[in-house]
A and B are shown apart, each in its own frame.
Chain A
Amino acid sequence: MQPTDAEIMEQVQSGQLALFDELVARYRGALLRVAVSKLGDEAWAEDVVQETFLAVYAARHSYKPEFAFRTWLWTILLNNCKKQWKRSQRKPRVVSESALPTEVARSISEPTVSDSGLQGILLTERRELVHELLNRLSEVQADALRLRFFGGLQFDEISDSMGCSLSGAKRRVKTGLEALSRMLDERKGDLP
């Protein structure tokens, strides 16, 4: 039976630092998907995820087992993304999406699947589309959808991470999906 996140954190707190790798292995992929979707740049998202883990590691002694590790981790990631995004608004890191969509298209997570060619292009196009459509939603709706579908969070975890009620989290996901579906219906022909 695998140790829980809280058990691992307790052991990390007591000095078994190598166990932290297990937490990284558990969450890195999901965190990266959300960060890429939010920031639109894989290298940037990698940095933010790295920063998130480092922040968790640096603050390991302040972790309390009675609180959910996942919620803590996701909250730090969302805050880091926001912070980085604001910083980039003041001091742009990449060319803005509206100005040069093709540039961002390259920076959005290129599929690593080995079957290159047409399928790779279709995957990239779909990721750009998802990124673009999510950016057209309100931030809270888009974040709720990212956490639900890219992070695989339960609704109670979304509500804790975003600081809203359980029904609020469900409403954000539902209204976000409705808006997204409307947008997709409007541009059916563009879908890869």
Chain B
Amino acid sequence: MNCDQAFECLTDPFHAGQPELEQHLAGCPRCRQMQETLEPALGLFAEEHHSWETEADECFSQDAGPAEFLSPSIIRLADHAALQLQRQTKPVRTQRKILTKAACCVALVLFGAAISYGVLAVQDEPQKPSVPGQIIAEDVPCLWLSPEKVVVTEQTRSRDVVLSCLVCHVGTSSSN
């Protein structure tokens, strides 16, 4: 017997006081020390165990035998309880499924609403031209089409006229 088995034996209310345990305790000071430490509690449980055994003996000597547990009425009761439990469990599952589906639907609706809101918000915003020439086309008149706007200065060069025209036409043709 090793120390682990000795502890199991020491705390076994049904097989206490085995000769193997006594032998082990005689040769193992550590387990002897443990037995001394635990003795008050072990003694209390041993007394309790002894009193139960006495009670059980008396009960069996008084009764013809253990009472029937599964009487027909008890069986009916247990089956009824089991059926009720099944019924209770099923609706709970169904309710859970319905709730999950409803939550999914709500989430989808919210998601859709968020997307459409986002699209509308984008549409409401002033459109920023994707082609830089458009701004220039609106701001800068085409000097080729309206030559009257050409202010001839020292800085005016033919390159500016060509550029303004290009910007105007490139912007118009790309938007078309």
Q: Which single residue of chain B is at the shortest CB-CB distance from A61?
A: B82
Known: A24-B69, A177-B11. A57 touches B78 (CB 8 A): yes
Residues of chain A within 8 A (CB-CB) of B58 are: 112-114
Residues of chain B within 8 A (CB-CB) of A145 are: 45
Within 8 A of A (CB), among B25-55: 37-42, 44-45, 47-49, 51-52, 54-55
Task: Report yes or no: B37 in contact with A181, Cβ–Cβ below 8 A.
Answer: yes
B: contact size bracket: 35 or more
Residues of chain A within 8 A (CB-CB) of B44 are: 126, 129-130, 180, 184
Does B70 interact with chain A (Cβ within 8 Å)?
yes
Q: Which of B41, B45, B68 has the most CB of A within 10 A?
A: B41
Task: Report yes or no: A18 in contact with B41, Cβ–Cβ below 8 A.
Answer: no
Known: A18-B70, A29-B52, A29-B56. A181 touches B38 (CB 8 A): yes
A54 to B44, CA, bound (A): 33
Task: Report yes or no: B66 in contact with A28, Cβ–Cβ below 8 A.
Answer: yes
A148 to B77, CA, bound (A): 32
Task: Report yes or no: B7 in contact with A170, Cβ–Cβ below 8 A.
Answer: yes
Contact with A113, one of B42, B54, B66 (Cβ below 8 angstroms): B54
Known: A58-B85, A59-B82, A113-B58. A180 touches B70 (CB 8 A): no
Count residues of chain A with CB under 8 A from any CB of chain B. 40
Cβ distance A173 to chain B, nearest Cβ, rounded Å: 6
Task: Report yes or no: A177 in contact with B66, Cβ–Cβ below 8 A.
Answer: no
Task: Report yes or no: A20 in contact with B7, Cβ–Cβ below 8 A.
Answer: no
**Known contacts A29-B52, A129-B44, A155-B8, then 18 further A-B pairs from the complex at CB < 8 Å, ordered by chain A residue:** A20-B69, A21-B68, A28-B69, A58-B79, A58-B81, A58-B82, A112-B58, A113-B51, A123-B51, A126-B44, A130-B45, A148-B11, A174-B7, A174-B38, A176-B41, A177-B42, A178-B37, A184-B41
Q: List 22 A-B contacts (CB under 8 A).
A: A17-B75, A21-B68, A21-B69, A28-B66, A54-B74, A57-B78, A58-B82, A111-B55, A112-B59, A113-B51, A113-B54, A126-B44, A126-B51, A145-B45, A149-B13, A149-B48, A170-B4, A176-B41, A177-B38, A178-B37, A178-B41, A180-B40
